[in-house]
Amino acid sequence: MIGGMCGIEMVSTRKTRQSVNHKPQENVRRLTCGSVMMKPHYVYDDASVFDVVEKITRHDWDHIFILNDEGVPMGRIHAVDVLKIIAKKTVNRSVAWMYAIPAIQLVNLPPLCVKMSTPLLKAGALMLAHDLNHIGILDAEGALVGVVGLKTMAKHIPRYIL
C-alpha cells in the first residue's frame, strides 16, 4: 500500500545519490565569467603615468587596465612594472616626468580577455597557462565590463569540487 495507493512514490537511494554526485560537476561547467566577475580597475588612454600610480596606490590595486574611448581594453599595467620603471627613471627624486608620459606607453601587448559567456573553468585554464592573476571580461561589443582573478576562482570553484 505504500507505493501507489497512498500517493507516495518510492525512489531508489542509489539513483538519488548518483544524480546528486554528478550535479556539482555539471554546474561548475555552467558557471560563467559574467556571473562571478568583479568590477574592473581602469583608466582611459589619455591618463599619464602619474594618474596610474595615483590610482594604484590610493585604491591598493595590483593592476589596472587602460581603455580607449569605447571602453575597449588596450593594455594592462601591473603595479610591479610601474615600480620598476619609476626606480629606473627617477633622477634626484624628481617625478615630474610621470606627468608628461602617457600610461599607454607602458603597454606593449593588448591584454588577454574573455567574453562574459566564457566558462569560469576555461578562464582559469587560460590564466594558469599565461601566468596571469586576473583576466578581463568583455561584453558583446568588446568593452571591458569586469575582471576575474584568482581570488574569484578560489571563492567559487571549491563549492563544486568539495
CATH number at residue 145: 3.10.580.10
Question: In the beta sheet, which residues pair with residue 48?
Answer: 102
Tell the residue number behind the cell numbers 583576466, with chain if given: 135
Q: In which element (H, E) is residue 22 found?
A: helix 13-30
Question: Does some domain include residue 32?
Answer: yes
Q: What is the pLDDT along the chain (162 residues), one digit of tens a residue?
A: 445 445 455 554 444 444 445 565 567 678 899 999 999 999 999 999 999 999 999 999 999 999 999 999 999 999 998 888 888 776 566 778 888 889 999 898 899 999 999 999 899 999 999 999 999 999 999 999 999 999 998 888 776 665
DSSP code at position 71: S
Establish how many alpha carbons lie within 13 A of residue 13's alpha carbon, considering only the half-sphere containing its beta carbon. Answer: 0
The number of folded domains in the chain is 1
* Domain that residue 79 falls in: 13-161
